[in-house]
Amino acid sequence: MRNVFACLAFLLIAVSSSAENAAAPRLSWQTLQRGVELTSFTAGRLASGAPGRLYIVRVDPAAANVTVGLASEGHGGPRTAADWSRTSGFSVVINAGMFQTDHRSNVGYLRHGQHLNNARWNDYQSVVAIGAPGGTPGNALWLDLGDPATRSQTTSYETVIQNLRLMTTTRRNVWSQSARQWSEAALAIDKRGRLLFLFSRAPYSMRNFTDFLLQLPLDAAGAMHLEGGPEASLSIHADGVDLDLAGSYETGFWPDDSNVRQWPIPNVIGVMRAK
């Protein structure tokens, strides 16, 4: 009997392993401009039961100019990602993070040059720092904030953004399972220092989304939550690709697929359009 149980256990492990491998797609990348690539594939399910799709834009910050658009810098207030793309010359735009009730300030610390969108560090544990002073491209820095002293490493960067952590730099999922789900906009970094802009209209719990991200052949080495529900946005306008994607589902707030438009957002991360 013990041997029967051992065989059954082996088969269950094999099936589970096979299922995980089957769930990890082979990614095909389309170059949008120097240092910027796009892939997408079927993933997740919408509340309606229709298949979802995960979009990933991979950006080499040493080759493409990654910066931010902030309503607090006098850019005329919140606007949709599509409008940010049009008015600021961005080829790719995603949320910079969740924002406060003033519809200006990021929930976590956010600095752009000398401008402080939010001067207060909170207890969120992921920080990305982008760009050399003067807005020139450069390598990105990704930090886990276990020690507040690590903040000093960001001082030489043009843009610093603190957000809610999904995954540590050692690839540990920090989320417990929950019934709460939402459409997701997220930012990650891979082991080569390339940034990954991620968008899924199909809702996930944060535990499941991060587990899925860890399965993908992306070599992710850190990830943060940017926004969920109908405010989650991604716009891409480059190399013949014209997409303005909007989230919808959010447990307890917008529990269906009915939202079809992007919502105005005050802070975005953008890739400058190639000249």
| Sequence ranges of the domains in the chain | 32-272
**Model pLDDT for residues 106-158, shown as the tens digit of each residue:** 999 999 999 999 999 999 999 999 998 777 788 999 999 988 889 999 999 99
- List the one residue out of 177, 273, 180, 182 whose CA is nearest residue 226: 182
pTM of the model: 0.90
- pLDDT value for 142: 97
**Model pLDDT for residues 122-131, shown as the tens digit of each residue:** 999 999 999 9
- Cα distances from 209 to residues 93, 104, 201, in angstroms, run 21, 27, 12
- pLDDT value for 196: 98
Q: What are the 10-residue block averages of pLDDT along the chain, 275 residues in total?
A: 37 36 77 98 97 98 96 91 97 98 97 97 97 84 91 95 97 97 98 98 98 98 98 97 98 97 98 93
The DSSP code sequence of 4-54 is HHHHHHHHHHHHHHHHHHHHSPPP--EEEETTEEEEEEEEEE-TTS-EEEE
Q: What backbone phi and psi angles, to 5 degrees, belong to 66?
A: -100, 130
- pLDDT value for 23: 55
The DSSP code sequence of 166-182 is EE-TT--B-PPP-S--E
